[in-house]
Chain A
Amino acid sequence: ETGVTQSPTHLIKTRGQQVTLRCSSQSGHNTVSWYQQALGQGPQFIFQYYREEENGRGNFPPRFSGLQFPNYSSELNVNALELDDSALYLCASSGTGDEQFFGPGTRLTVL
């Protein structure tokens, strides 16, 4: 059984650019959640996908968008990057009744 993986590990972008982060769910999991963790803070919920449909969204603007694919892998897209988007982005996958299993995260730096 493979765990949750995320790519890339680190990313540096400039303000105004767009970024795509990727997450591969744990085998058999059909739900993926994305979180933003700013430095020194707890993770904040961005959104959740269940069977390719958005299933809840946190207090993030529409320039944060996501996709979940038939194989349950997922993408987080952020448009018009701002300095405050610099953070660790975590994805977590879960199956029915299972706990959320977190990936190692992608560290995004916006200059």
Chain B
Amino acid sequence: AQSVTQLGSHVSVSEGALVLLRCNYSSSVPPYLFWYVQYPNQGLQLLLKYTSAATLVKGINGFEAEFKKSETSFHLTKPSAHMSDAAEYFCAVSDQGSSNTGKLIFGQGTTLQVKP
């Protein structure tokens, strides 16, 4: 069965600093992995996805993530945080391995705070 663990429920960075949000996964099949962002009182927006192509995935708003099979990780990074990045971030794995329209299994989420 697939699962996702997000390490750190709250992360606080200064504006301009590196953002690193950690995600580890467990999957019995080659995974499809996703990062979503959720702003207050809104739905989820896809930041980026890994679908077994390049291991370094670039997404929107300057975010990227690297798939590391040996570490079963898919950490999200951004070189320089902006105030507008403050939000809730969710890592997810698709239960169908090779599909991105299967059931999504989400982590608990990480709240990113950006200090001026």
Give the B-binding residues of A (Cβ under 8 A).
4, 31, 33, 35, 40-45, 48, 56, 58, 90, 92, 94-105
Contacts and interface: CB of A to CB of B under 8 A. Distances in A.
B106 A42 contact: yes
A102 B101 contact: no
Contact of A97 (B44, B101, B107): B101
Contacts of A102: 36, 43-45
Given A42-B107, A43-B106, A90 B44 contact: yes
B109 A90 contact: no
Interface residues of B, number: 22
Interface of B: 4, 34, 36, 41-46, 49, 90, 92, 100-109
A92 to B, nearest CB: 8
Contacts of A98: 100-101
